[in-house]
Amino acid sequence: MDPARQAMIYGRKSPPHRDITSPRRDPNTRISKPNQPTRPNNTKPAAASRKYQTEDEQARQFVADEDKFVLKQAKKKADIRVREGRAKPIDLLAFNLRYVDTDRDVFDDDDADVEIDVPAPDAVIESLDETQLDELDGDITPYHTLETNSRNREYWTALRALCLDRRQKLKPMAPEERAVSSVGADVDKILGPKNLEQLEKLEGQIRAKLLSDEAVDTDYWGQLLKSLTIFKAKAKLKNVYKEIKEARVQRLQERNPDKARALAVSKLEVTVSEKCVGVPAQSVSTSKASAAIIPTVQANLSASGSSAAPGTARFSSAGNEDFSQATKALYEREVARGISENEEIFTAEETVLSTAKPQWADKYRPRKPRYFNRVQMGYEWNKYNQTHYDHDNPPPKVVQGYKFNIFYPDLIDKTKAPTFKIIREHGRRRGESFAPAGEEDTCLIRFVAGPPYEDIAFRIVDREWDYSAKKDRGFKSSFDKGILQLHFQFKKIYYRK
């Protein structure tokens, strides 16, 4: 029977016709894909769901990137103003933070930045008046708002608290406020010596006392609790600034070892003085023994004999330089005043030649006074400059005056003010000129004080001083609260156009 007909009878299909040249199918060697786990029809892979951001997420990311860029530019501008000697208080505060700021871009740093001395943050704030404090508080707000680093935010938060405290101290108090402030001396004695951990523990105890049912002096404990906020801010700022100084000393080790050791000495002085606050009478001898370390370190500095890099000799502290706390406070307060646009820091110190040893050298240790001087620069419109320059393309700036601020806080005889004298070399007299055409004569100005301070001298331009009393151009020579101030400008020569 025909096979096809037989298949129809038995209800089966015809056998397929196979090409004899095709590969033979063997069900035992069939390759199959692994089974995938089943998932609901309404779900998508996790990677697909994270592939695209929503509009809200994109907006938040854009704002975060923009804030980061604005903060970076603010820090960069602060660095530039400090380097150029025209820093505002906010710039000094931001520059201090650079040594511990982990979010900084290392490409924005300059190797010479570590050589720049800026005052401590608390000294900057203490030197400001009410108007300047209001301006500083407004300048701090962007940093505090944009900063994401927790330590940096803590730094700016503490500074805002100190600004608020400083403003309150400058404002006149009402009668009821004066009554409450009568406990201020007790508050300082209680809170001053304590560290941050102790202050936080005391805060918890005071809050518990005020919430209890026992009868307490609410004015006293309320004032103490209010003051705790300020002292906690100071303690936090002290901790951050300690890290800043340690980081700066570490960076200075390779670039300027002498200055690194001097900075470490100043840190040691602060540590010893802090330990002596509130020390019992029986422990005074121990504190004095600790303080004896400082002169030893200073002696090692002077014995090292290593020279500083050119242009930084003034800041590579010599062994006989004045490192007292009183001098440091005066110095940092003057630095915090900043530099005007037409001023630059002046450090042209000259070696003082002295043949005789001071008579008081055996009784008092001679020391060199510290200073913070400024030189005033401007344009001079003489006939040559009028011909070759204009206001859009001005000539090079020339020296127009000086501001000397020299610190003598530990002067033995405070009734005798330090003096100064002008020294012209090679027999040149006042009004005579030995300088070549186009150049100016120079002379030495030497400052003389009594024990324990040595003389100090600077080289300045030798021109006639302006003794007029006009604002910002007047002559000033005074000695008050340990600061000798000598400010003067040269007489202007007016040319007809």
Question: What mean pLDDT comes out for the span 278-282?
Answer: 34
Answer with the one of 196, 223, 255 that is the final residue of a domain: 255
Q: Percent of the chain scored above 70 by pLDDT?
A: 70
Residue 309 lies in a domain: no
- Of 399 and 314, more confident: 399
- Of 296 and 387, more confident: 387
Residue 205 lies in a domain: yes
Out of 209-218, 249-258, 328-337, least confident range? 209-218
Residue 288 lies in a domain: no
Q: Which residue is it, tokens 């936090």?
A: 236
Residue 42 lies in a domain: no
Residue 322 lies in a domain: no
- Of 148 and 33, more confident: 148
Kindly calculate the radius of gyration of the chain based on its CA atoms and give it in whole angstroms: 37
Q: Which residue is it, tokens 């854009």?
A: 62
- Total of domains in the chain: 2
Q: Same domain for 114 and 214?
A: yes
Q: Same domain for 344 and 240?
A: no
Crossing angle of the two packed helices 150-170 and 130-146, in degrees rounded to 10: 160
Question: What mean pLDDT comes out for the span 188-214?
Answer: 81
Question: What mean pLDDT comes out for the span 442-454?
Answer: 90
Q: Same domain for 365 and 248?
A: no
Tell me the residue range of the domain where 122 lies.
58-255
Residue 39 lies in a domain: no
Q: For position 495, what pLDDT does the model report? A: 54
Crossing angle of the two packed helices 284-291 and 257-276, in degrees rounded to 10: 170
Q: Same domain for 123 and 243?
A: yes
Digit-coded pLDDT (tens) for 282-299: 333 333 323 332 233 233
**Cα–Cα distance, 38 to 43 (Å, whole number):** 11
Q: Same domain for 83 and 196?
A: yes
Q: For position 373, what pLDDT does the model report? A: 92
Out of 55-64, 226-235, 284-293, least confident range? 284-293
- Greatest Cα-to-Cα distance within the chain, rounded to the nearest angstrom: 147
Q: Same domain for 224 and 96?
A: yes
Q: What band does 46 get if pLDDT is binned at 50, 70 and 90?
A: low
Q: For position 276, what pLDDT does the model report? A: 39
Q: Are strands 476-480 and 483-490 parallel, antiparallel or unpaired?
A: antiparallel
Answer with the one of 216, 240, 255 that is the final residue of a domain: 255
Burial of 413 by CB count in 10 Å (0-12 exposed, 13-18 middle, 19+ buried)?
exposed
Is residue 173 scored above 80 in pLDDT? no
Answer with the one of 255, 288, 315 that is the final residue of a domain: 255
Residue 2 lies in a domain: no
Q: Same domain for 217 and 347?
A: no
Digit-coded pLDDT (tens) for 91-149: 999 988 888 888 777 676 777 888 888 888 888 888 888 888 889 988 998 888 888 88
**Cα–Cα distance, 156 to 237 (Å, whole number):** 9
Digit-coded pLDDT (tens) for 339-359: 787 888 888 788 877 656 777
Q: For position 471, what pLDDT does the model report? A: 59
The pTM score is 0.46
Omega prior to 452 cis, within 30 of 0: yes
- Of 42 and 144, more confident: 144
- Of 252 and 418, more confident: 418
Q: Same domain for 121 and 230?
A: yes
Q: For position 209, what pLDDT does the model report? A: 80
Question: What mean pLDDT comes out for the span 42-47?
Answer: 54
Q: Same domain for 223 and 355?
A: no
Q: For position 273, what pLDDT does the model report? A: 41
Note the Cα 222 to chain centre separation in Å. Answer: 34
Q: Percent of the chain scored above 90 by pLDDT?
A: 10
Residue 243 lies in a domain: yes
Q: For position 406, what pLDDT does the model report? A: 94
Helix (H) or strand (E) holding 174: none
Q: What band does 407 get if pLDDT is binned at 50, 70 and 90?
A: very high
Q: For position 487, what pLDDT does the model report? A: 93
Question: Average pLDDT, whole number, for the chain?
Answer: 75
Out of 124-128, 255-259, 376-380, least confident range? 255-259
Note the Cα 143 to chain centre separation in Å. Answer: 14
Q: Which residue is it, tokens 């400059």?
A: 385
Q: For position 13, what pLDDT does the model report? A: 53
Is residue 243 scored above 50 in pLDDT? yes
Is residue 413 scored above 90 in pLDDT? no
Q: What does the angle CA 449 – CA 453 – CA 456 come to, to the nearest 5 degrees?
A: 70
Q: Same domain for 359 and 467?
A: yes
